Amino acid sequence: MNSVLHRPYNFSAGPAAMPQEVLAQAAEEMLNWPDANGKRCGMGVMEMSHRGKEFLFIYTQAEADLRELLAVPAHFKILFMQGGGLAENAIVPLNISALKKDADGGGTADFVVTGSWSEKSFAEAGKYCHAHVAASGKADGFTSIPDAGSWQLNANASYVHICSNETINGVEYHELPDLKAMGSKAELVIDFSSHVASRGVDWSRVGLAFGGAQKNLGPAGLTLVVVREDLLGHALSICPSAFNYQTVAKNESMYNTPPTYSIYMAGLIFRWLKRQGGISAMEAANTAKAELLYRTIDDSGMYFNKVQSNCRSRMNVPFFLRNEALNDAFLSGAKDAGLLQLKGHKSVGGMRASIYNAMPLAGVQALTAYMQEFERTHG
């Protein structure tokens, strides 16, 4: 237990656990980065110019690997930005809310509110455009996704924003909405912060996707934006230059200094993902992990999950003890069993197990075994 390499299973929602072999590689390369041929360049990645050939190699490989993994079509730009998911709540409307203009010169955006994150996105966008709630799951405590047929979409909306995985509420779109089939001409914007790279993306349905890296791609500090090219060049005049997608795209994400070390770490994750068999293999593994955990919850008399089965998140699994007085005992026993950071978000309560790509099936098996043992001894 005292060895630095013996680490418990970490269920943090984010910043989240990273694959141990990736951390070990980064540690080995930290002082003196080796190129693809193993030749040491004499400096660590944090110390390199972002315009030098060493970092350009790291950047180019990361971008190409991500494009391959997520099957991002050539007419989409991949941008490595900063500011996190929350900054994107402003940056998105600053860039694309005026794709279509209203009579007063402003733009309109629709929001499907399915939890804490899309609620935040809606509130922020209102500073820059006419923001409308097209549908909300608030009335049932964010335990379902309002049926697409009930969405009140604006004919003049530039985009429809969804959070495709609500990290706090544990609600995930198992399939992205098809706005065209719904008769809408708006672009679909997805906040995929907490399930990016956990499954495939149907890019034919998406205009723009964004996500902070710290859930499933690497360390905090990097924000991924994938945007269809024809959405560039429509930014409001007040949009900060460093956050103008067209400017960022023209400069290959190097208009200003990008988060170089986070890009390097994400690049190591992308190569790790390829070694695991790519996104389809991750999706199969994530489905198996989530099924095991939800089955354990549903089969027990002690635990329950409130989310409708057709939109339960495969990444973030909130669950509750029927007897809340046992919460502290559950958490301290979990810690002793080598299961960390299971306390639920304060707005939801109970427990939450985040089981991102880096969580092996063995970690979920250890958790479910602990849950069953706890039920046997405390039930």
33 is catalytic: no
The reply to whether 85 sits near ligand PLP by the rule CB under 6 A is yes
Rg, C-alpha atoms of the chain = 21
> What pairs with residue 166 in β-bridges?
171
Number of residues that bind ligand PLP (CB under 6 A): 12
Of 57, 53, 56, 29, the residue nearest 43 (C-alpha): 29
The reply to whether 163 sits near ligand PLP by the rule CB under 6 A is yes
Q: Which of 100, 117, 151, 343 is catalytic?
A: 117
Our CB check for ligand PLP shows the closer of 117 and 303 to be 117
Candidates 10, 97, 108, 167; binder of ligand PLP (CB under 6 A) is 167
* Cβ atoms 130, 180 nearer than 8 A: no
- Binding segment for ligand PLP (CB under 6 A), chosen from 59-67, 191-199, 256-264, 370-378, is 191-199
For residue 298, the number of C-alpha atoms closer than 13 Å in the C-beta half-sphere is 12
Q: Which of 77, 100, 215, 343 is catalytic?
A: 215
Distant-in-sequence, close-in-space partners of 286: CB < 8 Å, separation ≥ 6: 198, 199, 314, 315, 355, 357
Q: Which of 100, 151, 191, 289 is catalytic?
A: 191
Our CB check for ligand PLP shows the closer of 10 and 193 to be 193
Q: Mask 198-237, x = binds ligand PLP (CB under 6 A)?
A: --------------x--x----------------------
The reply to whether 86 sits near ligand PLP by the rule CB under 6 A is yes
> What pairs with residue 318 in β-bridges?
352
The reply to whether 84 sits near ligand PLP by the rule CB under 6 A is yes
Pairing of strands 159-163, 76-81: unpaired
Residue with tokens 């985009």: 159
Our CB check for ligand PLP shows the closer of 167 and 286 to be 167
* CB 14 to ligand PLP: min, Å: 5
The reply to whether 117 sits near ligand PLP by the rule CB under 6 A is yes
* CB 333 to ligand PLP: min, Å: 28
For helices 278-299 and 361-378, give the axis angle rounded to 10 degrees: 0
191 is catalytic: yes
* CB 89 to ligand PLP: min, Å: 8
Q: Where are the beta strands (DSSP E) in the chain?
A: 9-10, 76-81, 108-113, 130-136, 159-163, 165-166, 171-172, 187-191, 208-212, 223-228, 303-304, 316-321, 339-340, 351-354
* CB 182 to ligand PLP: min, Å: 23
Our CB check for ligand PLP shows the closer of 266 and 371 to be 266
Bond prior to 15 in cis (omega within 30° of 0): yes
CB neighbour burial string for 328-363, b if at least 16 within 10 angstroms, e if fewer: eebbebbeebbbbbbbbbeebebbbbbbbbbbbeeb
In the complex, which residue's CB is closest to ligand PLP? 84
The contact set with ligand PLP (CB under 6 A) reads 14, 84-86, 117, 163, 167, 191, 193-194, 212, 215
Query: Would you please indicate which residues are annotated as catalytic (active-site) residues?
Result: 117, 191, 215
